[in-house]
């Protein structure tokens, strides 16, 4: 399954990177833009799990994984080993989501956050420090599970 997702992400990134811009050149999202998307999803993942919206948590985790794979494909200069270090925490978070286990989720989330910070340090961007969210910045989204009609 993970290999299929990786192949899908590689194909998506390859196609995405070859879409022409208005100037006719291929569009490549900036690494900072990809990482900002990861950061937003990191926040949303935390609050989805905190509010036990496991479907949303699963979705955000999948998007984080895709964004990280896209970054590796598009930016060959980033240390792949450090990005790959997110694999085990992502798997652990996925298992926690399946089990709907908040304690297990929190442990995996902390490990993912640490892996992000280790990568930032490795590329000389240790001034970018990711942490567990303390406030919910998305006032336009409910993170709880959908209410029954």
CATH code of residue 87: 1.20.120.290
Our count of domains for the chain comes to 1
Q: 141 lies in a domain?
A: no
**17-21, 25-29, 60-64, 90-94: segment of lowest average pLDDT:** 17-21
Q: 144 lies in a domain?
A: no
Segment 104-143, tens digit of pLDDT? 999 999 999 999 999 999 989 999 999 999 998 888 899 9
Q: 57 lies in a domain?
A: yes
Q: 113 lies in a domain?
A: yes
Overall average pLDDT of the 92-113 stretch = 98
pTM (whole model) above 0.85: no
pLDDT above 70 coverage of the chain, percent: 85
Q: 129 lies in a domain?
A: no
For residue 43, give its domain range. Answer: 2-20+30-122
Q: Match 């590689």 to its residue by tokens.
A: 10
């Amino acid at each position: 399954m993970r290999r299929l997702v990786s192949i899908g992400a590689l194909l998506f990134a390859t196609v995405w990177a070859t879409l022409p811009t208005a100037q006719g050149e291929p569009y490549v999202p900036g690494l900072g833009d990809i990482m900002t998307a990861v950061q937003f999803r990191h926040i949303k993942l935390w609050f989805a799990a905190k509010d036990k919206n496991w479907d949303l948590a699963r979705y955000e985790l999948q998007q984080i994984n895709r964004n990280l794979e896209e970054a590796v494909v598009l930016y060959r200069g980033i240390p792949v080993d450090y990005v790959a270090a997110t694999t085990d925490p992502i798997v652990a978070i996925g298992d926690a989501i399946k089990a709907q286990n908040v304690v297990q989720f929190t442990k995996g989330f902390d490990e993912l956050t640490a892996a992000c910070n280790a990568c930032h340090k490795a590329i000389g961007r240790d001034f970018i420090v990711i942490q567990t969210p303390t406030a919910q910045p998305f006032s336009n989204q409910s993170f709880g599970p959908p209410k029954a009609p």
